[in-house]
Amino acid sequence: MDDGTGEDGGARPPERTVGDYRLVRSLGRGGFGEVFLGERADGTLAAVKLLHASWAGDADMRRRFTAEVEQARRVSGFCIAGILDADPEAEQPWIATEYIEGPTLQEAVDKDGPRSGVDLHRLAVSTATALAAIHAAGVVHRDLKPDNIMLAADGPRVIDFGIARAVETTSVTASGVVGTIGYMAPEQLEGARLTSAVDLFSWGSVMVYAATGKEAFSGPTQASRIARILGGEPDLGALPEPLLGIIRTCLDKDPDQRPDASTLLNRLIAAPAEGTPAPAPTSAPAPAPDAEGTTVTPRPDDRTRVGVDRTRVAGDAPPQVDPTRVAPPATVDPTRVAPPATVDPTRAYTGLAAQDGASASVSAPGAPPVPHHSGAAPSGPYHSGHQPVGAQPTGPGPSGPLPSGPHHTGGVPPYHFGGVRFTDPGALAQAFQQDWPSALRVFGDAAERAALGAWIIDDLGDTTVDRALFRRQTTDANLAIASFVAQLRPDLPPVFRGRPASVEALGELFADPAPVLTGAPLANEMALLARPDVLRVMGNHHSGRPGALHQLAEHLGQAERAGIAFHERLRNELAGWVSTRVHVNPALVLAFLLHPERAVPPNDGDKAVAEWVDILWRKVESAPVPDSAGHAAMVYGAVPTLRELARQRRHWEERFASVSAEHDTLLNRVGLQVHLTNAVRYSRWAILALPGSLVLEYALDAPDWIVGLLAVISVLGLIGAISCTAARRVVCGTPARRAHRVMELEHSNAQLPQLTSGVERIRTDLAQARRISEG
């Protein structure tokens, strides 16, 4: 609904001054406040961000905010929107930054399409330069996205840096994790300790969007996007080299493998704009110990790791060998080894030729799995119904010391995972469940997944596991792991991403919906679990409550659809909801399904919002389970919309009351003005009675009483004209002021119907929402 502040909506809200800046108009709203166009007395323009008033009582926030602003002031201003002024101690904290005239990258791509060639390379260099400058000042942006890159006439500028960190560390953060889904790094989504590497991941995602017009980790829902960031491959479209390789390294799941901003900038500067490979780096960084004391050599490109993956144990392989495979001879191309002719080609993925123990490995990045081999080897003991066995450690590890005897039995080549040789897929599935991060690396890499599929399908001849897990591109590696484990080991308790996922465990995790409402890091894990597909897979595990998780999955899907349908009906039938977008959060739905007592109306503290909530909540109370949970989640998701509707209602009603009162005053003043003008006019006509009386007396010899009457009328007219003219001047002002008052009355007459219509639309929406909620 139009709020009445536009050019066609009549009067704008009264002007406001913040510091030295007069707020001209609103530029937009964000997670931390509202941005206005500000103008100083000397004509200087600024983007003035007013932070949420709820921060006013948090002294710790003000201290952090002050420190962050001072730190951000030190960032070189040639490629960012520099900070002009700020007042963390104001009643409503604010910050003024350089006003950049131009569209955001988001707007430019939406309007003109993706960038390519030199334009794309120039954008990459400019934004990388901005990141280098920001990081050099000790600031981490944490919310780099297309909306935070302004395309000025003199080049791109990065905005909104230096605030997120202060906001994130306060106790009053409304959005919990700072960032935008789709451009957040995996460690950011998981609530881990953050470094400047998160900005490099965001930069890579932004460049993919700029080049393709799509997110690198797109998905139909928030949960699917999170899942893809955590365990899926990015969609890089038709990005050309060398930018493709540079961006891929920035999108590495491991923050330690991403370049820093300075290295990124050097690579971009040294690389040609398009068409030819980037020059190789002159020197590689020295290996550095990680948090566990293991030396990891950084990868020179996006796919090849030189050194030992710290999540696996090399066993009896040389130190430089990928521990999931057996190294080929040094003279052979390490990315593709042709096995000896006597070796079953399907065993080239896992390694040992049965005759002489020779090692072979086929691991071309992106290579499709080897077709099914007819000569299936016998499956492991798990398939015979015995306790899972077949895990044979190759070195010290969780399975104990290295045993004696052969590495595999029955001619089945082993699969190496976590420093252990497995000949039984059931035991491997259990190991995957216990070491989920390492399993994620297997399923998140196309070549590794193909190698696993070749071992399962061709070497073992297994018929239990769905072939689609290995033969189709996966965008959700977590769900793929869960499905793999559930198919091979349904006897194991349900676990997802290392978290127990039984009905009882979910009840404990979702007992407090606060993380979902605040956006705390745990909310991302809850979102990944709160999906019908995940619950169905978890329900395939044996439990003391058969079918409970499947039923919960059905209820979750039904409740989510009910919430969406409720919102769609409001959109279709209420004028103020036409352009709204309300997210029905499945995690909140699941929390209400597991704990119906938690489904209480949201309390915003605003009477106008409370009226909307009271009306909509009637739908929650009248709906059966599970629809009521979906309706409740919809109401919670609609709270920002309800706040905006309440703001609009106040604006329209205040404007209506103000214009109505002004109209009544003007009507009275103009009425008096009209009466006095008429009195002056009539008095002037009365003055003409004097010459008339003289004519009657001398020319027509009229009676004296008629002549006397006319004389009196003439004198009274003269007195009236003088007095009414004076009164009109004193009471109604000059002729110009009187004319302006008449124009104001005409303007208010024109405004009143529109304002009346706006107020009536709001009241009609409330009545219609009440009918929908009670129907």
The pairing of beta strand 420-422 with beta strand 391-393: antiparallel
Residue 597 pLDDT level (bands cut at 50, 70, 90): very high
Within 458-540, strands assigned E span 495-496, 499-500
pTM of the model: 0.64
Contact 351, 360 (CB under 8 A): yes
Asked if 158 and 250 sit in the same domain, the reply is yes
Q: Give the closest residue to 718 by CA, choosing from 691, 692, 680.
A: 680
Domain membership of residue 330 (yes or no) is: no
- Please state which of the ranges 86-90, 123-127, 733-737 shows the lowest mean pLDDT: 86-90
- Please state which of the ranges 83-87, 302-306, 612-616, 696-700 shows the lowest mean pLDDT: 302-306
Domain membership of residue 586 (yes or no) is: yes
Domain membership of residue 439 (yes or no) is: yes
Asked if 473 and 513 sit in the same domain, the reply is no
Contact 131, 199 (CB under 8 A): yes
Asked if 557 and 478 sit in the same domain, the reply is no
Last residue of a domain, one of 443, 468, 492: 492
pLDDT of 764 higher than 80: yes
- 145 assigned to a ligand binding site: no
Domain membership of residue 6 (yes or no) is: no
Q: Which two tokens stand for residue 444?
A: 């998140």
Which pairs count as long-range contacts for 357-360, CB under 8 Å and 24+ apart, including other chains? 359/326, 359/327, 359/328, 360/326, 360/328
Asked if 217 and 256 sit in the same domain, the reply is yes
Q: What is the pLDDT of residue 31?
A: 52
Alpha-carbon span 494 to 503, nearest angstrom:
9
Which CATH number characterizes residue 185's domain? 1.10.510.10
Helix spans in 114-170 (H): 117-136, 164-168
- For the stretch 532-569, pLDDT in tens is 999 999 999 998 888 999 999 999 999 999 999 999 99
Q: Which two tokens stand for residue 6?
A: 């536009």
DSSP string over 630-659: HHHHHHHHTHHHHHHHHHHHHHHHHHHHHH
Domain membership of residue 381 (yes or no) is: yes
- For the stretch 684-706, pLDDT in tens is 888 877 777 777 666 666 677 77
Residue 391 pLDDT level (bands cut at 50, 70, 90): very low
Asked if 267 and 157 sit in the same domain, the reply is yes
Q: How far is CA 318 from CA 309, 323, 398, 555, 570, in A?
A: 13, 9, 21, 52, 65
Domain membership of residue 315 (yes or no) is: no
Q: What DSSP character marks residue 341?
A: T
Asked if 357 and 440 sit in the same domain, the reply is yes
Q: Give the closest residue to 629 by CA, choosing from 593, 598, 587, 584.
A: 593
Asked if 263 and 147 sit in the same domain, the reply is yes
Count the domains in the chain: 4
Last residue of a domain, one of 233, 253, 280: 280
Q: Which domain holds residue 451?
A: 345-492
Percentage above 70 pLDDT, the chain: 74
Asked if 588 and 729 sit in the same domain, the reply is no
Asked if 261 and 116 sit in the same domain, the reply is yes
Asked if 186 and 224 sit in the same domain, the reply is yes
Catalytically active residues are: 143
- For the stretch 310-336, pLDDT in tens is 333 333 333 333 433 333 333 333 333
What amino acid occupies position 526? Answer: M
Last residue of a domain, one of 637, 664, 679: 637
Asked if 259 and 374 sit in the same domain, the reply is no
- Please state which of the ranges 214-228, 235-249, 431-445 shows the lowest mean pLDDT: 214-228
Alpha-carbon span 187 to 740, nearest angstrom:
64
Residue 58 pLDDT level (bands cut at 50, 70, 90): low
Domain membership of residue 111 (yes or no) is: yes
Residue 160 pLDDT level (bands cut at 50, 70, 90): confident
Domain membership of residue 737 (yes or no) is: yes
Asked if 395 and 372 sit in the same domain, the reply is yes
Q: Give the closest residue to 647 by CA, choosing from 58, 26, 171.
A: 26
Place of tokens 């606060």: 514
